[in-house]
Amino acid sequence: MQHLNSADKLKTAIIELESKRAQEERMLKEEFLHTYESLKPINLLKSTVKEVATSPDLQDKMINAAIGLTTGYLTNLLFQRFSDSPFKKLVGTAIQFGITHVIVKNPEVVKAIGLGLYHMIRSRSERKHKRNQDSATE
């Protein structure tokens, strides 16, 4: 800072420095409040959930896990439907976990099989629809 030789310049410099200090104090308080709010547990949880929801990789993994669990559960239901034996129920649960594991670890294969089934059903439906149209025009 330059050397001040008059009282007026000194008073002006003091006022400017006090104003600058007050402004920096306000900014520091705002930053503190912002940091305090962001570190609250509920806000940490919200931000984490938001990050998870927007992450495409995690979304794919969650979808694959949901498909695996659903398929495993349905397989278990089908298997246990035909048996009342506790041993067979245990085997059904093991099959459920196995199918779930396979589907979660190999989602591309499951998607390919699903798409193949979809196209097969769709082509059959289209052929049937075409045959119905042909027979209606005759």
CA distance 64 to 101: 10
What does the pLDDT read at residue 21? 96
- Higher local confidence (pLDDT), 3 or 135: 135
- Residue 3: pLDDT above 90? no
Average pLDDT over the chain reads 82
Q: In this predicted model, what pLDDT tens digit does every residue of 14-50 receive, in sequence order?
A: 999 999 999 999 999 999 999 888 888 888 788 888 8
User: What tens digit of pLDDT does each residue of 100-120 get?
Assistant: 888 778 878 877 887 888 888
Which pTM was predicted? 0.42
The domains of the chain are located at 1-54, 56-137
